[in-house]
Amino acid sequence: MKVAIVGATGLVGEVMLRVLDERNFPVSELIPVASERSIGKLITFKENEYKVVSLQAAIDMKPNIALFSAGGSTSLEWAPKFAKAGITVIDNSSAWRMDQSKQLIVPEINANILTARDKIIANPNCSTIQMVMALAPLHRRYKIKRIVVSTYQSISGTGVKAVKQLENELAGIKGEMAYPYPIHQNAIPHCDVFEENGYTKEEMKLVRETQKILDDRTIAVTATAVRIPTAGGHSEAVNVEFESDFDLNEVRHLLNESSGITVQDNIDVNTYPMPIYANGKDDVFVGRIRRDGSQPNSLNLWIVSDNLRKGAATNTIQIAEYLLTNNLL
C-alpha cells in the first residue's frame, strides 16, 4: 500500500505516523505531504526517511490512499483532485462531514455503509467520535431522545500554535496567541467560531454529526464546548434522555461489551476517566455512570478520550483498515 499523509508535519499527522507503525498497517511506500515551507524536509517512518512533497507531486506518485489532516480549505481544493485520480481520501477536517454525498464514519458504529465508490470519506470531529462511541450501543437498546453535553477540550485540539501558547504562558514568555485570552489557569467557553445562532461551530458539530453518524435526525442535541489548559485528551459531561427506561447494570454491560470502550466506574476507590490516563491510548473511557433523578429515563456519563488518537488519527487509520480488509480500495 502506497500511503500519502497530507499534513504530515502537523500534530495529527505526526500521530498518524505513530499509529500506522503501531498497528502495522501495510505501508510499502510513505508519501508525506505538507505546506510549501516544509517541502524537502525528511520524515522518518519505520527507520526509513521520506522527503516531504507537494500535493500535486503526491497525486503524481499515485498512492492507494491519502490520509488528510491539513485543514478544511486544503481538503476542499485537493481531496477531489486525489479522488479523480482514483485515490481514496480519508479526510480529518470538517470540509466534507455534512456533505450528503459523503459518508461520516466511526468504524465501530457505521463502517458497514462504505463501498468502493466512496472516494472521499469524512472523519468526524474528535468530540463527536468519543461521545457517539459511548452512546451508540445505548441508542440501539433504549433509543435516545435528547443529549445535553458540555465538553472540556484539550489545547491540542487547536493545534501547535495553542500548545505553544500554553508553554509560553507557563514559562512567563509573551508570544503568539492562539486564543483571545490566556489559557493557563483559565477555561474559555469558545471553541471554533461563533455561528449566527450563538453556538460555536464546535458545538454545532456535536449536534449535526451525532445525528448523521447515528442515522437519526430526531435526536435533539445541545452542547457547550469549553477549552481548558490540558495538553491532551478531551472530556465530556453527557446527560442523555432515552425513550425507554434502562437498568444501570445493563448500561455498564452494554458499554463493557462494546469494542473500543473501557468502563472506569468505581467511585468506592475513586476510579473514573481522566485525560491524564487516556493520553496515548485509543480507547474511549466512560465513567461516573449514574441515573439522572431529575427526570425520567435519563442518564449521566463522563466520557474521556485522547483527541489526537481515537478522536483523529486512530479513527482515520481504522477506516483505512476496514477498506483494506473488505477489498474496498
Say how far apart CA 33 and CA 39 lie, in whole Å: 8
Residue given cell 425507554 in the structure block: 244
Least Cα distance to 191 among 159, 147, 237, 167 occurs for 159
Q: How far is CA 65 from CA 47, 158, 321, in A?
A: 21, 26, 11
Residue 234 known to be catalytic: yes
Residue 126 known to be catalytic: yes
Q: Can you read off the three cell numbers belonging to residue 108?
A: 465501530
Q: How far is CA 252 from CA 147, 239, 263, 264, in A?
A: 18, 16, 7, 10
Give me the long-range contacts of 109-114 (CB less than 8 A, separation at least 24).
109/133, 109/136, 109/213, 109/214, 110/213, 110/215, 111/318, 111/319, 111/322, 114/319, 114/322, 114/323, 114/326, 114/328
Question: Choosing from 139, 191, 234, 253, which is the catalytic residue?
Answer: 234
Answer whether 225's CB lies under 8 Å from 151's CB: yes
Question: Choosing from 126, 139, 184, 253, which is the catalytic residue?
Answer: 126
Say how far apart CA 243 and CA 297 lie, in whole Å: 7
Say how far apart CA 310 and CA 36 lie, in whole Å: 29
Q: Which residues are catalytic?
A: 126, 234
